[in-house]
Structure 1
Amino acid sequence: MSGGGPDARSGHPSAPHLPVMYAQVLDGLQVKGNGTYLDGTFGRGGHARGVLAKLGPGGRLLLMDKDPEAIAVAQREFGADPRVAILRGSFARLADWDATAAGLDGVLFDLGVSSPQLDQAGRGFSFAKDGPLDMRMDPEAGESAAQWLAHASEREIADVLWTYGEERHARRIARAIVARRAERPLERTGQLAELVAAVVPRGEHKIHPATRTFQAIRIHLNRELADLEAGLEAAHARLKPGGRLVVISFHSLEDRIVKQFIARHAKAPPASRRLPAASAFVPTLRAVGQACKADAEEVAANPRARSAVLRVAEKLDTGGVA
């Protein structure tokens, strides 16, 4: 959830689009003046501005985002800076970008949907404002939510809601969606939210009953978890020894992937007496501190920080041993 930059008077992130855990991200990256850093989720550049402010003339900042609107902001605000390079696309493919070939001193992934995406009804990410049922981070690629819901089988819809939303009533909601589309198509966020609210038992959710459904469909359409897994591997491959990986997750599915990825590269797997002895484990990452959450002051100022979890890892120098 990338957002706005530091306030010119206070040095703190400015409203309305606050970058989550701004100070913790910069502390985690340990920005060096002549280093090369990649922000794989530019959003509106809140964290990127902080990194750029710490770079000297020899530093480099590489910016990526799937969203063409985010890339347009990056081009407008950063395009004239010779230290900055910009690429539209998923961070899953960061290792394919020639600009990363010489290695990176830091990589940031601020996962999930950005504040501007949530706030624009026309993007279809939120049921708070009625709009077209889209949900694509890149609105020029793939199917919209409305298109997918128009043809997906009841079982496929239920599987997506259960797998990516951990929605207990996935089958009931999927059945209702299929019955509804036989009468008329689901084309608006408000229509889907009302349908879900009508079939989910009242009083079971502290959150809006459609929250998990919207989350699940968005993750599925944008291949968010698959991209995260690929992006972590790509970042690991491109980080220099001493380079930092900083990831902000917004729900347990993302955080589990990040936590397990860091552990897999930092700790030897438990030995099994049934299998032959494996070659000596060589750690390639070091977890830096514990998982970090936003403090009460930040959550009060920016409620979207409430569910954020930040993890930091450092690439180790293995002396050429993979």
Structure 2
Amino acid sequence: MTTFTAERIPAMTGRTVVVTGANSGIGRAAAQALAARGARVVLAVRDPAKGHAAAGTMTGDVAVRRLDLADLASVRAFADGFTEPIDVLINNAGLMIPPLGRTADGFELQFGTNHLGHFALTNLLLPRVRGRVVTVSSGAHRMGRIDFDDLNWERKPYRALPAYAQSKLANLLFTAELHRRLTEAGSPVLATAAHPGLAATNLLGHLDDGRSLLRRLRTAVINGLAQSGDDGALPTLYAAVADVPGGGYAGPGGLLGRGAPKLVGRSRAARNGALARRLWTVSEELTGVTFPLPATGPAARP
């Protein structure tokens, strides 16, 4: 089997790609790689100034549009203003173990941003998507549990890592149910997912708060083992352009969250269809956004 690298991305001329959170980390690396292959890439970012700074370092047709996934009004405004066909939507933006916070709509910040924001965005854009929806999860999903009695951490003491794991499990359940619905609707659109493994991005900055020598040492070890942002973006790119099945989940194929991307396994909870359907129903209720009739024309192959 041929190892997938950025050089194996096919020509993307004439195709439009939307990448959330593309001003830094693996989102930026994925956007840059796709733009270099001829795609028109839209950086969907909360801070347009940072987006324009990132776009200025990229070669190709790159645009910047404001999107705050922690504010459903911003998500709706972004979707309302996007009228062109989308060949690949990459749901990449995310928060990792920040202090307790709330979105503009009152959701726990990680669940609201990582899952609900992308859930709403995808469904609002889906009638214009003609290729793929790629959602970035994490190996941390294996620690996740969907607590329907307290999704927003309003009753139990807040714990950042379990909250993060819940949001990343939600990403995979969302992908599974989206794939099921697209298939049932006869849509050519594919829903796939990816995780970057251990990648050196600004998300790891939350691990070092400077409070203890042990924590700083642990962060240094993690950063020493982590692969680059460019390598961390490869599973996302693989899920976006390679010949993978709907519902497929890509990740690094080597040890310690490193190596060339391939299809990887997921937890038993992430394969639970009933759980995925229940989460979808609750997500519709929380966001007020429902599954639309997706595009039914020929899929835009990468």
TM tier, smaller = 0.3 to 0.5
- Larger relative contact order (Cα-Cα within 8 Å, sequence gap ≥ 6): 2
- TM-score, normalised to structure 2, is 0.46
- TM-score, normalised to structure 1, is 0.44
